[in-house]
Amino acid sequence: MTPILAAENLGRVLPGEVPVTLVQDVTLEIGRGEFVAIMGPSGSGKSSLLYLLGLLDTPTSGRVWLDGRDTSSFGEDELAATRLEKLGFVFQFHFLLAEFTVLDNVLLPMRRLGARSEAAARQRAADLLHQFGLGDQGRKRPHQLSGGQRQRVAIARALANDPPVVLADEPTGNLDSRAAANVRQILHDLTRDLGKTVIAVTHDPTFASVADRRIGIVDGLIAPDWRA
């Protein structure tokens, strides 16, 4: 079976007077339904690798394969369209749109894609919120929720267009331990129950322990023997 996501000699150098190497020569394959933790010390290039895998950033060398397709030839629009359909993001800070209700935030990607009717999209958004224990919070604004709740809304939003891959950047980094455990469990369940691939950058050792695979990154390189 082809891997859902693969990186081939992936490298990213920030240009400038003194070029900064963020990621170098990363080659990896991630299978469908895998729960992968990317770990490493601060500033090691974990997040940069995640942005490259998530097609948010363009590599300076190497290429990313998503669902068997080489994305290196994609233009801006095709990258955006791919992110919309195939990838969902969860960040350390929830990044919900403050002026929109929780429900509208979850609706955003569906409204942009336009594949579902408004009624169907609303139903799906409500179902997702319900699934994450936020069934009665849809009409609230993000600032009225707790940090853990907001992160769950962010996960619901990432799942809105039913993408095969969810990328999470320190999803529990800003949460207390109970909320963190909850979010961790939800991400874990996504791989088990829905067959999603979840790739999470994390500092959280507990997170690493439930992951199917841990990838260590040090100085932008894969470090197979790295331990938190």
Partner 1 sequence: MPIQFAIAVTHLVSRKRPTLVSLVGIALGVAFFLAVSSLMRGSERDFIKRLVDNSPHLTVYDEYRTPQPQPAVLRWPAGAVELRRVKPLREVRGIRGHAQKLAFIESLPGLRAAPVLAGSVVLTFAGRSEGVTLSGIVPAKMKGVSTIEDKMTRGSLDALAANPNGLIIGEGLAKKFGLSMGGVVNTVSPAGEPRALKVVGIFRTGNANYDETQTFALLKRVQGLLDRPDRVNRFILQFDDPYVARETASLIEARIGYKAVSWLEASEDLMSVLLVRNLIMYSVVSAILVVAAFGIYNTLSTIVMEKVHDIAILKSMGFHARDIRRIFLAEGVLLGLVGSLLGLGLGLGLMALLVQVEIKPPGATDIVHLPIYWGYDQYLLALGFAMTSAVVAAVLPARKAARVQPVAILRGMG
Binding site for partner 1 (CB under 8 A): 47-48, 51, 54, 56-57, 76-77, 80-85, 87, 89, 91-93, 95, 97-100, 108-109, 111-113, 157, 161, 169-170
Q: Give one DSSP letter per residue of 107-172, joined into a string.
A: HHHHHHH--S-HHHHHHHHHHHHHHTT-TT-TTS-GGGS-HHHHHHHHHHHHTTT--SEEEEESTT
CB of 111 to partner 1, least distance (A): 4
Nearer to partner 1, 65 or 95 (CB): 95
22, containing H or E segment: strand 20-30
Q: Which is nearer to partner 1, 31 or 80 (CB)?
A: 80
Select 82 or 191, whichever has its Cβ closest to partner 1. 82
Q: Minimum Å distance from CB 9 to partner 1?
A: 20
Shortest distance, position 56 Cβ to partner 1, whole Å: 5
The strand pairing partners of 195, in sequence order, are none
Q: How far, in Å, CA of 25 to CA of 18, rounded?
A: 19
Question: In the complex with partner 1, which residue's Cβ is closer, 14 or 209?
Answer: 14
Q: How near is the Cβ of 53 to partner 1 at its closest, in Å?
A: 12
Tell me which DSSP letter residue 9 carries.
Answer: E
